[in-house]
Amino acid sequence: MNTDSKIAEIYDNIVARNAGEPEFHQAIDELFDSLKLVLRKDPHYGENKLIERLFEPERQIIFRVPWTDDNNEVRVNRGFRVQFNSVLGPYKGGIRFHPSVNLSIVKFLALEQVFKNSLTGLPIGGGKGGADFDPKGKSNMEIMRFCQSFMMELHRHIGEYRDVPAGDIGVGAREIGYLFGQYRRLNHRHESGVITGKALNWGGAQVRTEATGYGVVYFTEQMMKAQGESLDGARIAISGSGNVAIYAMEKAQELGATVVGFSDSSGYVSCPDGVDLELLKDVKEVRRGRVSDYAKDATGATFHEDGLIWDLDYDIAMPCATQNEIDADVAQLIADKGVRYLAEGANMPSTLEAIDVYRDAGIIFGPAKAANAGGVATSALEMQQNASRDSWSFEYTEKRLQGIMTSIFKRCEDAAAEYGVEKDYLTGANIAGFKKVADAMCAQGVI
């Protein structure tokens, strides 16, 4: 059997074994295109069912999360933790609280995390978790009771050397506090490195809050540098207005770009003269409000309920909201704006068809698993500080983050060049991420 038909057979079997999981299939599809190139060149990666083992999570945990709301009504949600691969280090990856969360979504996120974490060059495996819980409109006490009940089960599966969760959509500093507090009670020990994204006064790391957004901008800077360009004077449209989007805006504006708009699920804000970040942080992080509240209080900003953030005029696009926010039509709209660079802050915000549109339009594309790896990389730095009972300065930590983003870019660039697909950073990221995990799996036997 030739390599291509062998790959097609492996792919069909994996999809059949994971029926009804469209997001997981999409993440697999995106990887297989690149793996074909590796297997044609290095067929030994196809031996001993390496590919089949790699796409089978090491462990998948699904659990009941019962809790009581403020009206004393009993509620029940479903919790997940997918421990995908620990060949490079303890499972590492966030927890997402959002009504859309299901096994397919957690599995796609966990698989992406395996490759992303490998690309960072740091000793972390890949996992992801979450619950179909909607934090919107819940009181602090409800959030706390939910987090405590979630940890009641999760605590037996995690640990500093086993699995280290962090935040993701719907899980920020407040939730990390409640989760850690409950873990500490249940385990009767102060195990700092069991969770990352902690507050600065009890084991958290400088720059962790900013890291994902800053990292996306550093990655974009590298893509531009390779073309002899810089962010200075560029106009950027950013979808979303959560943690990733806010800190991408902050770093982009610091480096001389203008962020012309951002969004949430209710609409988008146009701000041709840039974003007032102090106000946006107050609206989102303190008041937990909507982007329309920002437009009410800001000068020179307007809120639009209809249309898309991508209707604005900009040179660079940074999708920082959620998966599959850009399909082929939206990608075409972005391409028609004459955009030259697109960097993904969210996980898998572009459909496979959207990525084809970027390719055809010659848009230089920074895929999520490389461009947004700054968050988890800084989590690994938080683990490092916890293990040595140390804490580093903001400046030093940011330098480390910047260095890590530069090496991730270099890994993508080198792998793309080695496989004859220069500037295809998606293929480069997939190949470089794969090889490190695959080599370690080969070395550790049939595992």
- Contact residues: ligand GLU, CB under 6 A: 92-94, 166, 168, 196, 347, 375-376, 379
> If DSSP codes are grouped into helix, strand and coil, which group holds residue 237?
strand
Cβ-based nearer residue to ligand GLU, 77 or 196 = 196
Minimum distance of ligand GLU from residue 336's CB (angstroms): 30
In the complex, minimum distance from the CB of residue 351 to ligand GLU, in angstroms, rounded to a whole number: 18
* Measured distance CA(376)–CA(379) in Å, rounded: 5
**197's tokens:** 């994204």
Q: Which amino acid is at 273?
A: D
Which residues does the annotation mark as catalytic? 128
| DSSP bridge partners of 316 | 236, 341
Pick between residue 261 and residue 433 the one whose CB is nearest to ligand GLU: 433
The answer to whether 162 and 122 have CB atoms below 8 angstroms apart is no
Can you tell me the distance from the alpha carbon of 114 to that of 62, in angstroms, rounded to the nearest whole number?
A: 20
Q: Report yes or no: 316 and 235 within 8 Å, Cβ to Cβ.
A: yes
Contact (Cβ atoms closer than 8 angstroms) between residue 82 and residue 168? no
What type of residue sits at position 368?
Answer: A
Written as one string, the DSSP assignment of 10-49 is HHHHHHHHTTT-HHHHHHHHHHHHHHHHHHHH-GGGGGGG
CB of 253 to ligand GLU, least distance (A): 23
Q: Which position's Cβ is nearest ligand GLU? A: 94
CA-wise closest residue to 330 among 305, 356, 304: 356
Provide the minimum distance between the beta carbon of 354 and ligand GLU in the complex, in angstroms, as a whole number.
Answer: 19
Residue type, 77: N
**Closer to ligand GLU by Cβ: residue 158 or 257:** 158
Shortest Cβ 127–ligand GLU spacing (Å): 9
Cβ-based nearer residue to ligand GLU, 145 or 369: 369
Within 13 A of 422's CA, how many CA atoms are on the CB side? 2
- Cβ closest to ligand GLU, residue 209 vs residue 347: 347
β-pairing, 91-97 with 235-239? unpaired
Instruction: Compute the least distance from the CB of residue 161 to ligand GLU, in Å.
Output: 15
DSSP, residue by residue, 259-320: EEEEEETTEEEE-TT---HHHHHIIIIIS---HHHHHHHSTT-EEESSS-GGGS--SEEEE-
Question: CB of 94: closest distance to ligand GLU in angstroms?
Answer: 3
